[in-house]
């Protein structure tokens, strides 16, 4: 047990001798210049308008199809027709 504690203490003591690395000033300056030169890309108005129009078309088609489907269901329920009058098929 004492050897294990000594080994742990040696590892902890060795961590105290680790030095923090400092990047070269050239690298740091390059990173800062890249961050400053990075521009925000704006979405053109035409693309924004096209996306709004496409969204409205899709929504209107969905609303139309739901309303048309519900209208078809209501028509079917009102006109129930008996298709088979005689269930004795093989006679």
Q: Which helix (H) or strand (E) holds 9?
A: helix 2-15
Q: Please tell me the distance from the alpha carbon of residue 71 to that of residue 65, in angstroms, as a whole number.
A: 10
pLDDT exceeds cutoff 60 at 22: yes
Calculate the CA 70 to chain-centre distance. Answer: 32
pLDDT given for residue 91 in this prediction: 62
pLDDT exceeds cutoff 70 at 66: yes
Q: Please tell me the distance from the alpha carbon of residue 41 to that of residue 48, in angstroms, as a whole number.
A: 13
Q: Please tell me the distance from the alpha carbon of residue 26 to that of residue 37, in angstroms, as a whole number.
A: 16
Q: How confident is the model at residue 81 (pLDDT cuts 50, 70, 90)?
A: low
Structure tokens at 50: 């096209």
pLDDT given for residue 73 in this prediction: 67
In three-state secondary structure terms, 33 is helix
């Amino acid at each position: 047990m004492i050897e294990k504690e000594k080994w742990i203490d040696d590892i902890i003591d060795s961590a105290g001798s680790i030095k923090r690395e400092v990047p070269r000033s050239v690298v740091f300056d390059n990173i800062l210049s890249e961050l400053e030169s990075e521009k925000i890309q704006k979405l053109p108005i035409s693309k924004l308008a096209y996306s709004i129009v496409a969204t409205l078309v899709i929504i209107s088609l969905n609303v139309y199809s739901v309303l048309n489907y519900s209208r078809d269901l209501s028509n079917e329920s009102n006109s129930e027709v008996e298709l088979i009058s005689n269930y004795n098929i093989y006679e």
